[in-house]
Amino acid sequence: AHLARIEAVDEKVHAFLHVDREGALAQARAVDAKKAAGEKLGPLAGVPLALKDIFTTKDMPTTVGSKILEGWVPPYDATLTQRLKAADVVILGKTNMDEFAMGSSTENSAYGPTGNPWDLTRIPGGSGGGSSAALASFEAPLAIGTDTGGSIRQPAAVTGTVGVKPTYGGVSRYGMVAFSSSLDQGGPCARTVLDAALLHEAIAGHDPMDSTSIDAPVPPVVEAARSGSVQGMRVGVVKQFSGKGYQAGVVQRFEESVELLKSLGATVVELDCPTFDLALSAYYLIAPSECSSNLARFDAMRYGLRVGDDGTKSAEDVTALTREAGFGDEVKRRVILGTYALSSGYYDAYYGSAQKVRTLITREFEQAFEQVDVIVSPTTPTTAFPIGERADDPMAMYLADLCTIPTNLAGNAAMSLPCGLAPEDGLPVGLQIIAPAMKDDRLYKVGAAVE
Ligand code: GLN
């Protein structure tokens, strides 16, 4: 049924870069055979899923939305891919994304934009717009995203779906193409809080192949989603997540959510976190710096595209020609920014200062979580904007992640879930819930209560 749905609508939505029709049917038949043989089935047996094209898959291409990896079929499965298969999930295909996960609209994909199923002329968020659009258009009931600065939560918010950025280190990064390694985090996307929890449990947990993976039990997310409640909880509202640039309808729906939390028995505490105002600036030094280093491996020798290798040019020239042809504008902008920020003489002024700001933000979160159990905010300042509106204005694009970035810098956990439609445009609004590191279960407890 989902393959038929993809066939019917994906020409318009363009959520998928690759649909593995035969592979998906084979996986589904294998589940049937297991069932018929009385074998033990995985926890998500037979449930179809759309996988962001940033995770390696040995039987499907992995492009990261870039021309530089066009046609590359990895020789191995990411740990997350392996865990999905072990859970007997049926992987439908790979979803569209901003190139190397850099963007907030999926317009930076080298393979063309994805439409928001609520209004195909608008963006589905980014970088994981393909995954969120697949959910919102009922092409898949589950999806996987990655969140470096908001790429799971912001797409969830603008498509009226649920997305969770687990605690940094909660889900393995092995086989997830790196953008900014100290921030990147894979996580679950779904249409309900419980569905997200079931997927979260299937993909989370320690992985010896990822040195930053946390070696501790997975927080009890499914149990929390089943027992949703905010009775007696302290909920923080941060002053810095409001003001100029926030759409009236977004603020209205957020304020109603806060009233709902109060009526369900939560105590609301106002918080002041002044360093959060510096998060965007710190992020746009740290993320490009790590990106410039990570993307050095795309040198035309190891993977994918190779341009100009005609026997007359040096290896260096081939590398330069390949990177010129294979990377899009936003990726080049970030590599240049990051290389500059890391150069000797500038390191302390830029990268070093940004790391200090990061520490201050982490401390401010710690202080906040001495007073509250979770923090809530709008996920994004506005609803889905029209395709093209911010394409030539990087700063305007970066502002879409104003509320999501502080969490990535601190490494804690956050969820976005729908909290109604904005009255002025009828488009979905997202409520963000933030919890301390390794307290991901609180997101589901609160999320299930207000869903
Ligand atoms: N929009 C942010 C960026 O462009 C975040 C992207 C992400 O989370 N992958 O960097």
Q: Which domains occur in the chain, in start order?
A: 1-451 (3.90.1300.10)
Give the Å distance between the CA of 232 and the centre of ligand 1. 35
127 CA → ligand 1 middle, Å: 6
Pocket flag, ligand 1, residue 160 (CB < 6 Å): no
DSSP 390-449: TTT-HHHHHGGGTTTHHHHHHT-EEEEEEEEE-TTT--EEEEEEEE-TT-HHHHHHHHHH
148 CB less than 6 Å from ligand 1? yes
Mutate to test the pocket of ligand 1, among 52, 96, 98, 333 (most ligand atoms within 8 A of CB): 98
Ligand 1 and 66: CB distance under 6 A: no
Helical ranges in 279-328 per DSSP H: 279-294, 315-326
- Residue of 285, 299, 298, 323 lying closest to 149 (CA atoms): 285
Which residues, 6 or more positions from 396, have their beta carbon under 8 angstroms from its beta carbon?
389, 390
Which of 104, 109, 127, 416 is catalytic? The answer is 127
The response to whether residue 103 sits with its C-beta less than 6 Å from ligand 1 reads: yes
User: Ligand 1 within 6 A of 288 CB?
Assistant: no
Give the distance (Å) from ligand 1 centre to CA of residue 82. 25
Tell me if 378 CB under 6 Å of ligand 1: no
Determine if ligand 1 sits within 6 Å of the CB of residue 300. no
Ligand 1 center from residue 282 Cα (angstroms): 13
pLDDT by residue for the chain (451 residues), tens digit each?
999 999 999 999 999 999 999 999 999 999 999 999 999 999 999 999 999 999 999 999 999 999 999 989 999 999 999 999 999 999 999 999 999 999 999 999 999 999 999 999 999 999 999 999 999 999 999 999 999 999 999 999 999 999 999 999 999 999 999 999 999 999 999 999 999 999 999 999 999 999 999 999 999 999 999 999 999 999 999 999 999 999 999 999 999 999 999 999 999 999 999 999 999 999 999 999 999 999 999 999 988 899 999 999 999 999 999 999 999 999 999 999 999 999 988 888 999 999 999 999 999 999 999 999 999 999 999 999 999 999 999 989 999 999 999 999 999 999 999 999 999 999 999 999 999 999 999 999 999 999 9
**Which phi and psi angles does 52 have, rounded to 5°?**
-60, 140
Contact 153, 417 (CB under 8 A): no
Is 151 known to be catalytic? yes
Per-residue exposure over 205-235, b if at least 16 CB sit within 10 Å of its own CB, e if not: bebeebeebbeeebbbbbebbeebebeebeb
Give distance in angstroms: CA of 307 to centre of ligand 1: 28
Distance 396 CA to ligand 1 centre (A): 13
Query: What are the structure tokens assigned to 192, written together?
Result: 């309900």
What is the β-pairing status of strands 413-421 and 162-165?
antiparallel
Q: Ligand 1: which of 52, 104, 173 to mutate, most ligand atoms within 8 Å of CB?
A: 104
Q: Whose CA is closest to atom 5 on ligand 1?
A: 149
Backbone angle region of 345, left / alpha / beta, with phi > 0 → left and psi within -120 to 50 → alpha: left
Measured in Å, residue 180 CA sits from the centre of ligand 1 at 10
Ligand 1 center from residue 190 Cα (angstroms): 20
For ligand 1, whether the C-beta of 129 sits within 6 Å is no
Residue with CA closest to ligand 1 atom 10: 102
Residue written as token pair 């603008």:
158
Place of tokens 């996307």: 189
Q: Which atom of ligand 1 is nearest to the CA of 287?
A: 10
Annotation says 127 is catalytic: yes
Q: Give the pLDDT confidence score for residue 155 in this predicted structure.
A: 98
Q: What is the ipTM of this complex?
A: 0.98
- pTM over 0.80, yes/no: yes
Contact of 232 with 265, CB cutoff 8 Å: yes
**From 54, 102, 330, 408, mutation site for ligand 1 pocket: most ligand atoms within 8 A of C-beta:** 102
Looking at residue 344, its pLDDT comes to 85
pLDDT score, position 347:
86
Would the CB of 290 count as within 6 Å of ligand 1?
Answer: no
Q: Which of 151, 180, 257, 377 is catalytic?
A: 151
